[in-house]
Structure 1
Amino acid sequence: MPGKRFKRLLGAALLGSALLAGVQAFAATLVVGDQSFNNRTVMEAAGVLADLPYTLEWKQFTAGSPVAEALNTGSLDVGLLGDAPPLFLGALGAPIKVIGVSTQNLDGVAILVRKDSPIRSLADLRGKNAAIWKGSWSQQLLFTALERAGVSPDEVQLRYLGALDAAHALEGGAVDVIATWEPYVTQQVRNGARILTTAEGLIPAQSFVVATDKAIADKRELLGDFLRRLQQAREWVRQDPANSEKYADTWAELTRAERDIARRWFSGAAIRVRPIDDQTVAEAQKTVDFFSRIGLIKGYPAGSLFDASFNRYLQSPPAQAAR
């Protein structure tokens, strides 16, 4: 009968469309910018990529600025990096959006001095040499802490060094103080350095998951699925100290870092991937306002850089976990 034939043809067409969609999803590729294998390692260790219906093409970088530049030029679909580089791009109207936020224990961003240093407070930094990285958590933390202590940055001799070079400069006595992040905080403290202050109560030190406008238009479901799996991997680390150790050991072996440093860092990092909320945007605005105030970027409404539509892929954290 014509009706039955039509139903059979319709069913075959629908099945074919579903199979085609599945093949297209499997054939699709998401190009991801990572830093020093951090996110790739945690996702692989947690096993969240086992049933991935598309391909992840990982590109590894040593810092956030080149990740941001790769996003700006369109050579990545999505990148994982600290807040400052994408916020700088936002000031230029770059074709990117923040689709997720990552937070951590703020003890992992700190101002350090040598163990035998006579410096005991931030006020003691007047006239001293400090190593920071311009346009980063490092600069924001040092300047904010100095302001809180009533010290002008002009009263400190600044040297602009990357995190690794700053660590060596502190150890060798070339500078009196550094403002840095993990794993350098853990490494320096293990080697005897003292923490003057952490980022807690001073700067947000957020990290962002950033996608290009083109990827959002063409690969929305892939981006959402990637976000969901990344969140699951970070929660897996938090569930059990043994999971944290597995992650740390895998990362240390891959990057040839010291296993003890990695274990100490990851056990206390408490990294969470979270939906975008009003607090996220408000803290981003503080960072934009800070860098605008010191003349590095032009101020703008930070909220214009965020796409909260991806929140539907993420679980909201428990209320007590909010910072």
Structure 2
Amino acid sequence: MPKSAFKRLLGMAIGLLATTQAVAATLVVGDQSFNARTVLEAAGLLQDLPYTLEWKQFTAGSPVAEALNVGSLDVGLLGDAPPLFLGALGAPIKVIGISQQNREGVAILVRKDSPIKTLADIRGKSAAIWKGSWSQQLLFTALDQAGVTRDQVDLRYLGALDASHALEGGSVDVIATWEPYVTQQELNGARVLATAEGLIPAQTFVVATHQAIAEKRELLGDFLRRLYQARQWAASDPAHSERYADTWAELSRADRDVARRWFSRAAIQVLPITEQRIAEAQRTVDFFSSIDLIKRYPAKTLFDTSFNQYLQTPASAAKAQAAR
């Protein structure tokens, strides 16, 4: 066989092998209650994947963090506290992207007939929160600003679902919680005393393991880019948001009205990692360190900014390339 023909055949074989490997590659994703999967499906961004997405669904962020820590996931989506806690322990993970929703979706609520009108009125009342979460950070920060000491509140440590039931049943006076429980409570007539706006960052992180970053970087980048595009699609048109909400409600067996109201105001975006967002993460680390839940450490060590390139618009990418 001529040498040139052999080289062509060898090149074709290598290309075929690379394509086969790409198709056979799998990215294991830790999602919460079908949220990311639903928006990607609704936006039509799962139709041409050159690799397989294996979804694992969770009901809270802590088990997503645990699965990442033991390596049973490649990437997961979860609130900032669990990965920041893992960062304090030196876990083999990195934050590769930020997901941010309207901070009105993290709130302190009371029943519609409650005599509590201000944060100061919580003094002497009972409040349900979840330790090591947005709800604890929000309530404690709000009480500090209102001049109410923590020992002046009867704290009950309940998960978000149990806290909602406790508020409805009257066994607690106040809850600090997040979506979709905020929207559910509002539709039931609950009043909002304060939201995370201006009080806590309430960031959500896209977190990958060190191994996945080393072995599946292109897959992670492609997934992050598709998630970014799906969030843009959902926020670009009320009809898109409704389609996303209806699909999610059907999959999760949730109330459609709750889903539509939540997603319409959430305006969820996938964002690059910036110094400001790292500084906000440091605020969260400092808060939980101040109540002795974790040791203080530089949050910056937990972030990998190299994935920002997958979230650039064509114009910003060209500008970044020209600056090199």
TM range (shorter): over 0.9
Q: CA deviation at 1:289?
A: 0.3
1:206 aligned residue (183, 203, 206): 203
Q: What is the deviation of 1:279? A: 1.1
In the alignment, which of 186, 189, 192 is matched to residue 186 of structure 2? 189
**Whole-Å separation in 1 of the counterparts to 2:3 and 2:173:** 81
CA distance in 2, matches of 1:58, 1:138: 27
Residue in structure 2 matching 1:40, options 18, 37, 42: 37
SS at match of 2:165: helix
Partner of 1:16: 13
Distance 1:168 1:225, change over 3 A: same
**1:288 aligns to what SS in structure 2?**
helix
**Quick one: distance in 2 between partners of 1:317 and 1:121?**
47
SS at match of 2:29: strand
CA spacing shift, 1:318–1:38, aligned 2, 3 Å: farther
Displacement of 1:8: 2.9
**Pair 1:300-2:297 in alignment:** yes
Letter in 2 for 1:287: T
Tell me the distance in 2 between the aligned counterparts of 1:279 and 1:119: 35
Post-superposition offset of 1:295:
0.3
Gap change, CA 1:184 and 1:302, over 3 Å in 2: same
Does residue 152 of the first structure (1) align with residue 145 of the second (2)?
no
Secondary structure of 2:67's aligned partner: helix
Identity of aligned residues (%): 76
1:81-109 CA distance string (max 9 Å, x none): 00000000000000000000000100000
**Residue 89 (1) aligns with residue 97 (2):** no
Cα deviation for residue 14 of structure 1 reads 2.1
* Structure 2 SS opposite 1:257: coil
TM-score calculated relative to the size of structure 2: 0.95
Secondary structure in 2 matching 1:32: strand
Q: Counterparts of 1:317 and 1:277 in 2: how far apart (Å)?
A: 19
- Give TM-score scaled by structure 1 length: 0.96
5+ residue gaps in structure 1?
none
Aligned to 1:180: 177
Equivalent-residue separation in structure 2 for 1:315 and 1:221 (angstroms): 15
1:243-290, CA deviations, whole angstroms, 9 ceiling, x for partnerless residues?
110110011011110000000000110000011111110000000000
Please state if 1:267 is matched with 2:267.
Answer: no
Partner of 2:136: 139
1:316 Cα shift? 6.0
Q: Deviations over 1:25-56 (max 9, x none)?
A: 10011000000001111101111010000001
- Aligned residue type for 1:153: R
1:205 is paired with a residue of what secondary structure? coil
After superposition, the CA RMSD in angstroms is 1.5
Secondary structure of the corresponding residue to residue 203 of structure 1: coil
> Structure 2: how far apart are the matches of 1:23 and 1:153?
58
State the secondary structure of the residue aligned to 2:114.
coil
CA separation of 1:306 and 1:316: change in aligned 2, threshold 3 A: farther
| Equivalent in 149, 154, 162 of residue 165 of structure 1 | 162
Hey, what does 2:322 align to over in structure 1? none
Q: How does 1:279-294 map to 2 (within 5 A)?
A: 279-294=276-291
Alignment deviations for residues 165-188 of structure 1 (CA, whole Å, 9 cap, x no partner): 000000111000000001111110
Q: Distance in 1 between matches of 2:280 and 2:314?
A: 18
Secondary structure of the 1:204 match is coil
2:245 corresponds to 1:248: yes
**SS at structure 2 position matched to 1:286:** helix
Sort the Cα spacing of 1:72 and 1:317 in 2 relative to 1 into closer, same or farther, 3 A: farther
Secondary structure of the structure 2 residue equivalent to 1:111: strand
Going from structure 1 to structure 2, the CA distance change for 1:167 and 1:193 (only over 3 Å counts) comes to: same
- 1:9–1:29: structure 2 CA closer, same or farther, 3 Å change rule? same
Structure 2 residue runs without a partner (length 5+): 317-324
Which amino acid letter does the alignment assign opposite residue 71 of structure 2? G
Residue 119 (str. 1) matches residue 124 (str. 2)? no
CA distance in 1, matches of 2:272, 2:19: 28
Structure 2: how far apart are the matches of 1:13 and 1:289?
56
2:48 alignment partner, SS class: coil
**CA 1:316–1:92 in 2, change beyond 3 Å: closer, same or farther?**
farther
User: 1:228 and 1:106 mapped to 2: Cα distance?
Assistant: 23
